[in-house]
Amino acid sequence: MIIAIDIGTTNLKAGLFEEDGTCITTSSRQTKYATHSEGFAYIDAQSLWNTVAQLIKEVNERCGFKGIRAVSITSMAESGLLVNKETGRPATEIIPWFDSSSINQASFIEREIDPFVQFCQTGLHLSYKYGLAKLLWLRHRHKHIFDQEVMWLSVSSYIAYCLTGKMAEEQTLAARTFAYRINQNEWDKALIDHFGFRTDLFPNVTHCLWPVGEVKQELAGLGLKSNTNVYIAGHDHVSSSLAAGIVSPGNVYNSMGTAETLVGTFTKRELTKADYESGLSFGLHPQDNLYFWMGGHSSSGGSVEWLRDILGNDRLTYAEINDYLEMAGDNPTGIIFYPYLSGSGAPKSNPHAKAAFIGLKKNHGKTDLLKAVLEGNSFQMEMIREEAEKATGIKMKRMSVIGGGVRNPHWIKIKANVSGSELVLPDITEAALCGAALIAAVGEGLFLNLNDAVANTFRKSEKVVQPNKEIYKKYRTIYENQFKPLSLLIEKC
């Protein structure tokens, strides 16, 4: 059996899996954040490890400690901390990916580099989220920290260190520092030196299919033997895409939650100006000779939650939302909603972009507004999918959709009709955990490779949703003639 761990933005989870991918049991806790007196958000590193250890013990106990073959860890990508290499103790708090305290440092980095050249090396457009900006901010706050022998670790790597005593980083997470060259599979020593850091600030980089080390003997109380291998499964969205079977070009993984993400693959090659202008991010895929592309929208399900709160005195229940949407019919509302409540992401990233409704009439009511929000989110994701098609040259007519949004059948139908794509809804409740378990299974030699694992892993039945061709034509006219042209103006407001 395999224990998978998912260190998510909202929750920490552990799951126990059979070798065929069957999830036996899961356990979870809310991810706890604190606010420093200086105003930034952080996670206490020791508390995080204590919680993860509890989760491991819980899922083990439920199955009577039958024997764990491997532990595999996936996580939110850019969150990290400094750890003292001599003592093994955290030298800083964990800085979550979303904390924007390093926005000034990101602007400084941008002035010091050629953004396009750096994109071709990292696959990234500069952001305060990335590790390099966070390190510059930490040095600005507490320069003395760097007088110690410290190392920057992602949260996955930190938990792997707590389990094994070995410090290493996985390549999809190393790349989210902005200091790792995906075109060379190595740390960018020149860039690191330029900003006054030592190269040994960053750990050796490993592949997700290679174990970092074995569980320490003193952790036997968690039900783990000392010869249990530990894997860093990497970026949670990439891990989730594997659970959905996205290991070959042409298929797309769509994660629908508070935020929404598209992930796909293409054959590894040099990145181009077209890739840069797409607004997408790129990285090394676990499957040999593949890159993955990724585009995100931060206020997808979040905009639905926002509208739930403001339509009436009491918050609308999901049942009430579905009742309203039942009355909406299949035709477009005629309202254009731009879902930029937290700024816009790909393809035109702008943290200052604003949300907007356009085309409201006095006869519009709650039903129309609710459906318009779902339409606007679907249009935004279609912009990302379209840019990915242009950048990769691969037609994408099939998407595997996973996440909380799948529970809203009206949203799924709108998404199919806006994109014209066939939507596959795998019966997977914990995609990140499942993907992490799959990675460890391949690493342990239970499958020949990831393709073999995806082909042979146990899956429940999948539901397929087809677009309505006539409704698709109507949405396409609105998308081409209204949503896309006006989006350029909205993003500048």
Structure tokens given for 256: 């629908």
CB of 440 closer than 8 Å to CB of 70: yes
Mean pLDDT in residue range 313-321: 82
Identical fold, 2-237 and 245-425+461-493: yes
Structure tokens given for 24: 């036996």
3-state secondary structure of 349: coil
pLDDT of residue 94: 96
Confidence label for 249 from pLDDT (cuts 50, 70 and 90): confident
At position 320, the amino acid (one-letter code) is E
Mean pLDDT in residue range 239-261: 85
- DSSP, res 468: P
**Out of 42-51, 62-71, 409-418, least confident range:** 62-71
Mean pLDDT in residue range 197-201: 93
At position 204, the amino acid (one-letter code) is N
pLDDT of residue 243: 85
Interatomic CA distance for residues 14 and 343, integer angstroms: 32
Confidence label for 313 from pLDDT (cuts 50, 70 and 90): confident
Domain 245-425+461-493 has CATH 3.40.50.300: no
Residue 492 CA from chain centroid, whole number? 26
Query: First and final CA of the chain: distance in angstroms?
Result: 53
Q: Which helix (H) or strand (E) holds 109?
A: helix 103-112
Q: What is the pLDDT of residues 77-132, one digit of tens each?
A: 899 999 999 999 999 999 999 898 999 999 999 999 999 999 999 999 999 999 99
Interatomic CA distance for residues 47 and 430, integer angstroms: 23
209-454-385-290 Cα dihedral, nearest 10 degrees: 40
Place of tokens 């809203």: 408
188-194-196-200 Cα dihedral, nearest 10 degrees: 20
- Residue 149 pLDDT > 80: yes
Q: What is the pLDDT of residues 298-312, one digit of tens each?
A: 888 888 888 888 887
Selection from 302, 308, 364 nearest residue 339 by Cα: 302
At position 131, the amino acid (one-letter code) is G
- DSSP, res 483: I
Q: What is the pLDDT of residues 440-491, one digit of tens each?
A: 999 999 888 888 888 877 565 678 999 999 999 999 999 999 998 888 776 6
Domain spanning 2-237: CATH superfamily: ATPase, nucleotide binding domain (3.30.420.40)
Confidence label for 492 from pLDDT (cuts 50, 70 and 90): low
pLDDT of residue 459: 60
* Other beta carbons within 10 Å of 27: 18
pLDDT of residue 453: 85
Mean pLDDT in residue range 5-30: 89
Q: Which helix (H) or strand (E) holds 398?
A: strand 398-402
Interatomic CA distance for residues 409 and 423, integer angstroms: 12
The helix-helix angle for 155-164 and 45-62 (nearest 10°) equals 70
* Other beta carbons within 10 Å of 195: 17
Q: In the chain, what are the domain boundaries? A: 2-237, 245-425+461-493
Q: What is the pLDDT of residues 321-377, one digit of tens each?
A: 888 888 888 899 999 999 988 878 778 877 778 888 999 999 998 899 999 999 999
Confidence label for 427 from pLDDT (cuts 50, 70 and 90): confident
pLDDT of residue 68: 87
Pairing of strands 336-338, 290-297: unpaired
At position 436, the amino acid (one-letter code) is A
% the chain with pLDDT above 70: 98
pLDDT of residue 456: 76
**Out of 48-57, 88-97, 372-381, 392-401, least confident range:** 392-401
Interatomic CA distance for residues 462 and 203, integer angstroms: 40
Q: Which residues pair with 231 in a beta bridge?
A: 72
CB of 382 closer than 8 Å to CB of 419: yes
